[in-house]
A = this chain, B = another copy of it.
Amino acid sequence: MNFGTVAILGPGLIGGSLALALAERSLADRLVIYARSAHALDAIRLAGVDAELTGNPSDALVTDVGSVKGSIDAALAPLLKDRALWIGSHPMAGSEQSGFVAARADLFEGAAVILTPTAQTKPEAQERAEKFWRALGGRLFILSPADHDMAVADISHVPHLLAALLVANANPKSLPLAAGGFRDTTRIASGSAELWTEILWANRDALARNCHAWAEQLAQVQRLFASGDEAAKSELFKLLENAQSVRSQLMDKKPFSPHSATFRP
Q: How far is the CB of A257 from chain B (nearest CB, A)?
A: 14
Which of B152, B164, B169, B251 makes the CB contact (< 8 A) with A154? B169
Cβ A196 vs Cβ B240 within 8 A: yes
The answer, yes or no, to whether A233 is at the interface (CB within 8 Å) is: yes
Q: Which residue of B lies closest to A139 (CB)?
A: B176
Taking residues whose C-beta sits less than 8 angstroms from the other chain, chain A's interface range is 35 or more
**Provided the pairs A155-B174, A193-B244, A222-B211 are in contact, do residues A93 and B179 lie with their beta carbons within 8 angstroms?**
yes
Residues of B within 8 A of A216 (CB): 215
A206-242 CB contact bits vs B (8 Å, 1 = yes)? 0110011111111101100110100001001101111
Within the complex, the shortest CB–CB distance from A40 to chain B, in Å, comes to 21
For the complex with contacts A184-B185, A193-B240, A201-B233, 13 further pairs of A-B residues with Cβ separation under 8 Å are A93-B180, A94-B181, A150-B171, A151-B173, A158-B166, A159-B182, A159-B186, A175-B250, A184-B188, A189-B247, A191-B244, A200-B240, A215-B216
**Is A1 an interface residue when CB atoms closer than 8 A count as contact?**
no
Q: Which of B114, B208, B265 contacts A225 (CB 8 A)?
A: B208
- In the assembled complex, the Cα of A151 lies from the Cα of B152 at a distance in Å of 31
Interface residue from B160, B162, B215, B222 paired with A162 (Cβ < 8 Å): B162
Q: Which residues of B contact A48 (CB under 8 A)?
A: none
